[in-house]
Amino acid sequence: MLLDAPAPNPALGFGPIAEAFASIIEASEPRFAIGIFGDWGSGKTTLMETIESKLDRDTAIPVRFNAWRYEREPELLVPLLDTIRQSLVNWAAVQSQGTRTDKAIKAARRIGRVVRALAAGASVEVGLVPGAKLTYDAAKAIDQLRDGTDSGNAEDQPQSLYFGGFTKLSEAVEEFLTGDISRIVVFVDDLDRCLPSSAIQVLEAMKLFFDLPGFVFVVGLDQRIIERAVASRFGSISPAATDAGVPSISDSRDSQIRIAGEYLKKLFQVPYSLQPVLLAQLDELLDAMYAEAALESGQVDDLRSRVRPYLRYVAGDERVNPREIKRFINTYTLQTLVRPELDPHVVLALQTIAFHPEWQAAYDMIVTDWPSFREALERHRTGNGDGLGSVWPTGSVVPSDFLRYAGSALASPLAEAQDLEPYLSSLQTAGSTPGWIRPAYRAVGEIRRILRQLQHPGRDDQLASGITWQLNTLVSGLPTPAGVEDPQLPPVLASIRTVTAEIETAEKNEKDPDRLAALASELDSNLTRLERELRFLRRRASFYPTGN
């Protein structure tokens, strides 16, 4: 398996980039922040760890802080300070005994005192619902800061927790950062995986450190996610109105984005955006992945000869997401190990459709009504009739890259497969699709099959009851919070039930073919809306598992 971990020997030019950043960190006054911006899986962590490896440990002390790991802490400043304290202790442990070691241990103890003070003042109320309510006893925290040195003169002691705490921090750092040790470099990772409130906490804590000597922050983040987090906190205030001294509420998306952008510009003096991996670099990336994982030659040969052609389509719009490539390869590897009787070419042909973000409609139709889709696919490949357009959802266009894929030799194993059930089951158990998706889509497919019978001369007069039964099956299998988290779903289901009831009435009383045809068309439109909502729920389930 290819692990989702930073590469110890990164490819694609990360080495020179890391060298440049290490030089900036070591040569500049240590009171600034570097922002490394990139999409999910673009290599932010790898670049940060490469930068860390280039630093001279005799002059710079690196600190790794994973914001997501401590997200449940009520006040993220506490684990951030504690991580800095532990890093000083770890650095001192590998140094030869001397003045530098003594100063590091002394600074760590002083920082620990601040951490204890902050923790002593906090208490958390945990309710029955997720989340916690934080209350704070500032006086108790200030007493902890004094550490038994209170002379009895209140005017000699700090009255503000943050003033007293950061005075202690400043004293500890100033005394330690003398001579050849000049900076503490804090690497903040996984900030964009945190909830918006937690991400803002870390960013605000970083701003406090800019008033202390010797700190450099290197932060990896997805700019779009952090901008949304900032906008959720500050985006309701119009900049122009605030400048005039009169706050006003603004719902303008442009205003929110502008505020968030300005916030990040002020926070990160050195921004750097990771360039996407291009399709032309895919082979270089794959070779680095295989070498890092130390794959056996037989597996590498299989990946290069059989899997590599499909990755061209998984990459999409000429850009490659390294993490998604790893997921694709690992899913294929798992399926072929667990189900060795399956044809690996069919596995890959189906998996490619499931992984492509713009081809979800095709995968949905395969799950819903494989025989009809297979016939359309065959017509497309032979140039006979409308092909895939005849089964594609109403109101949408078949993507051009999917048309190319469907007509290529890579899709021929899929077109020739008679029974996809074992392959769909295998793909689901490999973790690529939530468990409820196949039963839900089967129910939609059955409803569409019943619809086609409505205009059949010898049809049964009890078709509406079949639609109702399938609809109930579909709803009972959906994830529990679906109706709450997707406000569009209940109205769609209600519309389907209303039209179904009208069909039942028309079947019993009217016997009017034109009326039934009109109702069938209306129901078909509602089913298209339902499929759209199911695709939404499927995407949501990949980020917020429901256990269903």
Q: Who contacts 145 (Cβ-Cβ below 8 Å, separation ≥6)?
A: 113, 114, 117, 158, 161, 164, 165, 168
Question: Taking 60 as the threshold, does the pLDDT of residue 514 lie above it?
Answer: yes
Question: Taking 70 as the threshold, does the pLDDT of residue 353 lie above it?
Answer: yes
Domain boundaries of the chain, sorted by first residue? 14-273, 309-543
Confidence of residue 358 (pLDDT cuts 50, 70, 90): confident
Contact 478, 436 (CB under 8 A): yes
Encoded amino acid at 339, one letter: R
Helices (H), 412-512: 412-416, 421-429, 437-453, 463-477, 482-485, 489-505
Give the SS3 label for residue 136. Answer: strand
- Give 6-60 pLDDT, tens digit per residue: 666 666 678 899 999 999 999 999 989 999 998 877 788 889 999 999 999 888 9
Pick 350 or 152 by higher pLDDT.
350
For the segment 69-74, the average pLDDT, to the nearest whole number, is: 82
The rounded distance, in Å, linking the Cα atoms of 216 and 14 is 20
The rounded distance, in Å, linking the Cα atoms of 451 and 343 is 34
**Phi, psi (deg, nearest 5) at residue 147:** 55, 40
Residue 504 corresponds to which tokens in the numbers above?
Answer: 């039942």
The rounded distance, in Å, linking the Cα atoms of 314 and 331 is 13
Pick 68 or 127 by higher pLDDT.
68
Question: Taking 90 as the threshold, does the pLDDT of residue 298 lie above it?
Answer: yes
For the segment 157-170, the average pLDDT, to the nearest whole number, is: 66
- Give 402-440 pLDDT, tens digit per residue: 999 999 999 999 999 988 989 988 887 776 556 666 677
For the chain, give the mean pLDDT.
78
Pick 137 or 416 by higher pLDDT.
416
**Long-range contacts of 405-410, Cβ-Cβ distance < 8 Å, separation of 24 or more:** 405/313, 405/352, 405/353, 406/377, 406/380, 406/381, 407/380, 407/381, 410/309, 410/310, 410/313, 410/348, 410/349, 410/352
Whether pTM exceeds 0.75? no
Residue 348 corresponds to which tokens in the numbers above?
Answer: 């890959």
Angle among Cα 459, 460, 465 to the nearest 5 degrees reads 130
| Residue 140 pLDDT | 56
Distances (CA, A) of 496 to 361, 432, 468, 491, 492: 20, 29, 9, 9, 6
| Residue 18 pLDDT | 93
Residue 145 corresponds to which tokens in the numbers above?
Answer: 């800061």
| Residue 66 pLDDT | 92
For the segment 310-323, the average pLDDT, to the nearest whole number, is: 82
Confidence of residue 156 (pLDDT cuts 50, 70, 90): low
- Give 485-507 pLDDT, tens digit per residue: 556 778 888 888 888 888 778 77
Helices (H), 122-160: 138-146
The rounded distance, in Å, linking the Cα atoms of 235 and 238 is 7
| Residue 295 pLDDT | 93
Bridge partners (DSSP) listed for residue 189: 66
| Residue 130 pLDDT | 37
The rounded distance, in Å, linking the Cα atoms of 259 and 268 is 15
Task: Give the Cβ contact number of residue 432 at 10 Å.
Answer: 20
Confidence of residue 115 (pLDDT cuts 50, 70, 90): confident
Contact 85, 111 (CB under 8 A): yes
Question: Taking 50 as the threshold, does the pLDDT of residue 484 lie above it?
Answer: no
**Phi, psi (deg, nearest 5) at residue 208:** -65, -35
The rounded distance, in Å, linking the Cα atoms of 240 and 468 is 56
**Phi, psi (deg, nearest 5) at residue 507:** -65, -40
Confidence of residue 255 (pLDDT cuts 50, 70, 90): low
| Residue 129 pLDDT | 33
